[in-house]
Structure 1
Amino acid sequence: MRFPSPLVPGRLIRRYKRFLADVRLDDGREVTAHCPNPGSMIGLAEPGLRIWVEPGLPGRKLPYAWRLAELSGGHWAGIDTAVPNRVVGEALRAGQLPELAAYRTVLPEQRYGRASRVDFLLREPGLPDAYVEVKNVHLRREGDLAEFPDCVTARGARHLAELAEVARAGQRAVMLYLVQRTDCARMRLAADLDPAYAAAALAAERAGVEFLSYGTSIDRAGVTLGLALPIEPGVAEKPERNYLRASIELR
């Protein structure tokens, strides 16, 4: 997934009202950019953070959109929560996800469940349909460990319940976490931030939902699929209480 226009560097002044960010560009101008991220953005919304914004396309209300955060050690974090679907969509069509490479028909945004749309419905003669839900991950609080979610997500828990119903009906149901950070090598659920989501994940796993996690390669030109990452057990208040067992091994 390549950015349509070259990104412009600046420093974050403040992020507010969830979808707005004031930015001081390197040329000295102060502008308001769209922040395409409804989450809490823990650790990625600190004033003074080096960020990169994309000039707005014709018809947009704001002149810039926030795309990347520049991290220490030469690492990057993607801000736009719409990017994972684009990255995963490209990877699915190119057969780059080994777990799903057998499917040649990739249908985005298909209705399922009670009132939802699954991110991708995969079909192939002779195989059960595969329902794939994609989640953006960019929370990091400890070492090289990415976590999801970064705030309470009732919508995310509902998606897990609907995927569980799909699995019980005999189809494939896949929850894919795309880590939009280059400084993470493993992933787990942030059960302390949303215990209900972690409990829903455990119930979904028991129903047969598959859990996958992939990293990304990020630079100023765009975001592409990276390596598969291991999903580690999540814990709530008691360390011995696991909400999600490891689903895949690091390749």
Structure 2
Amino acid sequence: MKFDTPLIHGRLIKRYKRFLSDILLDNGEIVVAHCTNSGSMKTCLEENAEVYLSPAKDPKRKTRYTWEMIKINNQWVGINTLHPNQIAFEAIKNNEIPELSNYDHVQREVKVGNSRIDIMAQSKDETCFIEVKNVTMKVDNNALFPDAVTTRGKKHLNELIQLKKEGLRTVMLYIIQRMDVESFGPAEAIDPEYAQTLRLAYEKGVEIIPLQVRVSPTEIRIEKKLPFHL
């Protein structure tokens, strides 16, 4: 995924009210940027750290900028939670994920029952439903999800379990937007119910694919699949 407009460099002053952040731009101006990440952002918040913002496309939007990434330990960490779905969608369409390749039809936001699944991929042989999650939390060398209790995430796992029971292929795709980790796992200490449900989903046949992506001010690209532990 390439950024279609040049990003704007600055430094983080603070994040507040979950969805807002004050940023000091290089020209000395302090601006308010929208933060799409509703989680705690544990291990990816650091005052005065370098950040990049994208300018809002809608001139009527209250916040003129969106916070895209932050530099932690000399590496960019992507914090925009809207990007993983786009990254996954483009990668599946372009056959860039070996485990999710050779699909003729790929569609986003597909209604199933009372919910919407992030991506549906179809070939003449199978239909696959894929739920995508953004991962930024790091403990030791592990990427962990979630960074806050997520009843919605647990609901998505149960939906995938049900679809698998109906004979469909189902996948949990975790997009890890940082390069300083070596494996993926559930954040048991933060949300034990999610961790338990993820283990159940895996036992029931829901596939788990953790993908590490390299974040830069010009693009976000898939680097490699990481091992996982449950």
Q: What interval of TM-score do these two structures reach, taking the shorter chain for normalisation?
A: over 0.9
Pick one of 178, 201, 204 that aligns with 1:204: 201
User: Aligned AA for 1:117?
Assistant: R
- Give, in whole Å, the separation in 2 of the partners of 1:217 and 1:47: 22
1:68 matched to which residue of 2? 69
TM-score where L is the length of structure 2: 0.96
Given that residues 118 and 131 in structure 1 are in contact (C-alpha distance below 8 angstroms), is that contact kept between their aligned partners in structure 2? yes
| 1:38-58 deviation digits (Å, cap 9, x = unpaired) | 110012223212111112222
Moved over 6 A (4+): none
Shift of residue 231, structure 1, vs aligned partner: 0.7
* Within-5 A mapping of 1:1-251: 1-57=1-57, 58-73=59-74, 75-113=75-113, 115-125=114-124, 127-142=125-140, 144-232=141-229, 244=230
Q: Map Cα deviations across residues 95-146 of structure 1 (whole Å, 9 max, x no partner).
A: 1111111212101100114x21111111111x2210000000000121x211
Are the counterparts in 2 of residues 88 and 225 from structure 1 also a CA contact under 8 Å? no
Percent of paired sites with the same residue:
39
Task: Kindly provide the amino acid, as one letter, of the partner of residue 184 in structure 1.
Answer: V
Structure 2 unmatched runs, 5+: none
State the shift of 1:4 in Å. Answer: 2.1
Separation in 1, partners of 2:115, 2:108: 13
Give the TM-score, by structure 1 length: 0.88
Distance in 1, Cα, partners of 2:206 & 2:132 = 13
Q: CA deviation at 1:62?
A: 1.0
Q: Secondary structure at the match of 1:27?
A: coil
Match for 1:152: what amino acid? Answer: V
* Equivalent-residue separation in structure 2 for 1:79 and 1:176 (angstroms): 17
Which AA in structure 2 matches 1:14?
K
